[in-house]
Every structure is written in structure tokens, then in C-alpha cells.
Amino acid sequence: MRPLDFQPRSNRIWTTFSKDNAKTFLNHRLRIYKRISIRIWVLLLIVILSSISAIRLLLVGGESFFSFSHQPKVEDLPMTSRIISSSKDSVFSSGCRDVKLEMQKPRANAAFVVLARNTEVLGVVSSMKSLERHFNQWFNYRWIFLNNEEFDDTFKAMVSEVSSGGVSFGYISPENWDFPDEKNDPSYFSAAVESQGDREIMYGNMASYHKMCRFYSGYFFNHPLVQELDWYWRVEPFVHFYCDLTYDPFVAMQESV
């Protein structure tokens, strides 16, 4: 028969190993070289930190090896993660060029194209002033304005005052602006526009926005004023440019073809 106070040896050891004993053990100094000694808890801390660093190094090294061995295709990466390094996608110029030398080069057959209403004249003038200041004051390209209504005298006078390269005004006929369904089946067209608005699609309930997208998706390059051009720069109201563009991107594109 075992005595009632019998405990397994491991339990007896754990019981006798009190907090005071643990504190004494951790504060005990371990001699590592002649007169140099170090507390055990410091040594344990160093070992733990070293182990953590070694594990992290192994994990990072494994990931690097895996990514090197199984690199995804460029087509599978999001645009923000792709490295642009080809000559076709690289910038034409970094930094500023000598504007006086650039101005001596021949101009390309190009212009700025703006689709705007008479009521947007302040936004158009704001964009023009910004672009004229940072680019067109040196290269003097023409501005082309398109509208599905006739431009009024106020619009013409205000934009003409800002342009350094002349202005042209074009009219978009109903055949090239309106949707065929709007004429053939007005109720169907209205219901389709209202449906997009009900689904909270951005600008979905604005018929004019759909017409603008349709125009820029197809007919705009067939407009007589745009047909004359080899290159164009689309400009919207209330856009701002913050850096000087000291070379001609139209000429740069023309030379790269």
C-alpha cells in the first residue's frame, strides 16, 4: 500500500520549484570565460531572440526562393505591380529640356480637342490657362471646340483670348450626337437611362453623359475638324497641370512611329 501523501516524483519536483526558486535560478550567473559571467535570464533572452531572427530569415528566404522559381506572368499581375521597361512604354523625356531648342523644331499636325457646352466656359478657360502656362505658350497649338449646340459669342470671346495658337469651333449634328433609339423609341431610351440611375450607376441617369461617351467612342475622329489632324490632345474642363512640359509630345509620338 502506498502512503496517502504519495506524489509522483515529477509533481514533487514541480511543487518544490517555487517562484522564489525560479527567480533565484534565473538570476544565477553563468561563467562563460574566466572572470566573465552572465545571468541565466539574459542568456535565455539572447537565445530566444536569436531563434526568432533565424526563423524569420528562413521564412523570408523561402518566400524569395519560391517567388524566384515561380514568377507569375506579367499579364497576370495588376497594372500597379507591373514594371514598365519596354521602349514603347517608357517616357519620352525625364526632366526639363531647353525650350528654346525645342521651339525650333517643326510642329506636328496636332491640336487640342475640347467637347464642352456654353455653360462650361469657366472650366474650359481654367484648363486652357493651365495648359498654356505649362506647355502651349512655347508650342502654340490650336484649340478645337466641339458642341452639339452652337457656341455663343461669350464662349468664343473668352477662349479666343486665352489661346496662343488659334481656335476653331465645330458643330455636332443630331445624327452624330443622339442615340437612334431616342428617336425611334423614346420611351425605351428614357426607361433605359432611368434604369441606370435607379441602379446608382455613376452618371447613369444623365442622357447627355451617355451621348458624350458614345461620341468619344466612335464619331469624334470623323468630325471634319478632327479629320484634318494626325494627333490630338483631349482636354476636359477644370483640369490642372502642375509641371512644365518642355518638349513637344506630339512630335515625340510622331518620331516614335
Structural domain includes residue 17: yes
Structural domain includes residue 75: no
CB 142 within 8 A of CB 112: yes
pTM of the entire predicted model: 0.63
pLDDT value at residue 190: 80
Structural domain includes residue 183: yes
- Considering the domain architecture, whether residues 40 and 116 belong to the same structural domain is answered as no
- Considering the domain architecture, whether residues 123 and 198 belong to the same structural domain is answered as yes
Long-range contacts (CB closer than 8 Å, 24 or more residues apart) made by 132-135? 132/162, 132/163, 132/164, 133/241, 134/241, 134/242, 134/243, 134/244, 134/245, 135/241, 135/244, 135/245
CB neighbour burial string for 22-42, b if at least 16 within 10 angstroms, e if fewer: eeeeeeeeeeeeeeeeeeeee
- For residue 212, how many other CB atoms are within 10 A of its CB? 16
pLDDT value at residue 37: 62
pLDDT value at residue 65: 47
**Which residues span the domain enclosing 186?**
107-256
pLDDT value at residue 111: 98
Listed as ranges, residues in the chain with pLDDT below 50 are 1-2, 4, 6-7, 10-17, 65-66, 68
pLDDT value at residue 21: 62
- Closest of 116, 120, 111, 118 to residue 163, by C-alpha: 111
pLDDT value at residue 207: 83
CA-to-CA distance for 220 and 99, rounded, in angstroms?
A: 32
pLDDT value at residue 74: 66
Please state the domain count of the chain: 2
CA-to-CA distance for 240 and 127, rounded, in angstroms?
A: 6
- Considering the domain architecture, whether residues 201 and 121 belong to the same structural domain is answered as yes
What are the φ/ψ torsions at residue 87 (nearest 5 degrees)? Answer: -65, -25
- Considering the domain architecture, whether residues 142 and 235 belong to the same structural domain is answered as yes
